[in-house]
């Protein structure tokens, strides 16, 4: 952890009770206690030599009014299990496009995209949706919470089809406690600050215990203090829970919390700028 992120981590205030719940899902607990669903990527996370995400010659363009707009051109990139990578670059350079490919929200036009030994470009729509649900947690700039649902219900939503009510309750409580918001579980998004809403969104992203977290400008709509709380949480997800994180950000201070920073410009990626942080256990 860099000195700056250490400072940021200290800024997140959790009560002792919340911390103890957090540790049930944390690295100090036996592995089975943090498992919501056994993730297909978890095994790869235990094999450090293997990149979790392998992107080979991936290109992507969009069609707009009969014109083809090239966005990504033959990108090649490896992301290790347990890595925390920040992706920067000018507006329109294709950062969200690349993130959406990594998270299997969109497909490349050409090239290979392997996540945990699986070439996700070869999956059908239904398989891809299942794979995404089990393996990827999403954090967006504008939180994307359902306004008519409470914090609890927003976090519970992704578990509705897979777990019993009692199991859901356990996982939702763990996730909300981890972000320090269990006491606000019956609040609606409109009754929460932006920073609190983003913390609920983080709880929602981790409640299924995905190996990979993708975050698109998670601090872009927040004031400095709230942004620091969110970054401290992201750091904990990486260091304590071993999540692999790819975070798009315009904020250099946010990017400094990652292990490595890459710049995307004119469809091309810069070399990785290493931040020299320790890599989290997978």
Q: Which stretch binds ligand ATP (CB under 6 A): 94-102, 109-117, 149-157, 199-207?
A: 94-102
Q: How far is the CB of 216 from Mg ion (least distance, A)?
A: 6
Q: What is the β-pairing status of strands 67-80 and 51-64?
A: antiparallel
Q: Which CB, 96 or 174, lies closer to Mg ion?
A: 96
Instruction: Give the burial string for 60-78 (b: 16+ CB within 10 Å, else e).
Output: bbeeeeeeeeebbeebebe
Q: How far is the CB of 96 from ligand ATP (least distance, A)?
A: 3
Q: Which listed option, Mg ion, ligand ATP, none, makes contact with residue 94 (CB within 5 to 8 Å by class)?
A: ligand ATP
Instruction: Measure Cα distances from 72 to 57, 62, 95, 121 in Å.
Output: 9, 10, 9, 16
CA–CA gap between residue 33 and residue 164 (Å, rounded): 17
Q: Which listed option, ligand ATP, Mg ion, none, makes contact with residue 141 (CB within 5 to 8 Å by class)?
A: none
Q: What is the β-pairing status of strands 84-88 and 67-80?
A: unpaired
# binding residues, ligand ATP (CB under 6 A) = 12
Q: Which CB, 106 or 273, lies closer to ligand ATP?
A: 106
Q: Does 96 bind Mg ion (CB under 5 A)?
A: yes
Sign (positive or negative) of CA dihedral 29, 30, 36, 38: positive
Q: Which CB, 141 or 185, lies closer to Mg ion?
A: 141
Q: Does 92 bind ligand ATP (CB under 6 A)?
A: yes
* Residue among 57, 54, 131, 47 at smallest CA distance from 82: 47
Q: Which CB, 117 or 266, lies closer to ligand ATP?
A: 266
Q: Which listed option, ligand ATP, Mg ion, none, makes contact with residue 69 (CB within 5 to 8 Å by class)?
A: ligand ATP
Binding site for ligand ATP (CB under 6 A): 62, 64, 69, 71, 89, 91-97
């Amino acid at each position: 952890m860099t000195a700056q992120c250490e400072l940021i981590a200290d800024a997140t205030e959790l009560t002792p009770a919340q911390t103890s719940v957090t540790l049930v899902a944390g690295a100090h607990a036996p592995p089975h206690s943090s498992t919501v669903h056994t993730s297909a990527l978890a095994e790869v996370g235990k094999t450090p030599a293997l990149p979790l995400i392998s992107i080979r010659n991936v290109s992507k363009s969009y069609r707009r009014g009969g014109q083809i707009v090239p966005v990504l051109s033959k990108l090649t990139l490896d992301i290790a299990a347990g890595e925390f990578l920040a992706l920067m670059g000018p507006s329109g350079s294709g950062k969200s496009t690349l993130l959406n490919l990594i998270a299997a929200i969109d497909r490349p036009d050409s090239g290979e995209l392997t996540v945990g030994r699986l070439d996700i470009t070869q999956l059908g729509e239904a398989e891809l949706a299942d794979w995404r649900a089990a393996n990827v947690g999403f954090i967006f700039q504008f939180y994307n919470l359902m306004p008519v649902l409470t914090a609890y219900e927003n976090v519970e939503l992704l578990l509705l089809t897979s777990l019993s009510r009692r199991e859901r309750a356990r996982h939702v409580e763990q996730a909300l406690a981890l972000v320090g918001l269990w006491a606000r579980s019956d609040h609606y998004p409109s009754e929460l600050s932006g920073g609190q809403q983003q913390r609920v969104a983080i709880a929602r992203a981790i409640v299924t215990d995905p190996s990979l977290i993708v975050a698109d400008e998670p601090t872009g709509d927040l004031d400095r203090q709230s942004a620091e709380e969110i970054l401290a949480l992201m750091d904990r997800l990486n260091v304590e829970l071993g999540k692999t994180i790819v975070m798009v950000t315009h904020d250099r201070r946010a990017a400094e919390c990652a292990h490595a920073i890459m710049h995307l410009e004119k469809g091309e990626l810069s070399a990785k700028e290493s931040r020299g942080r320790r890599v989290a256990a997978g």
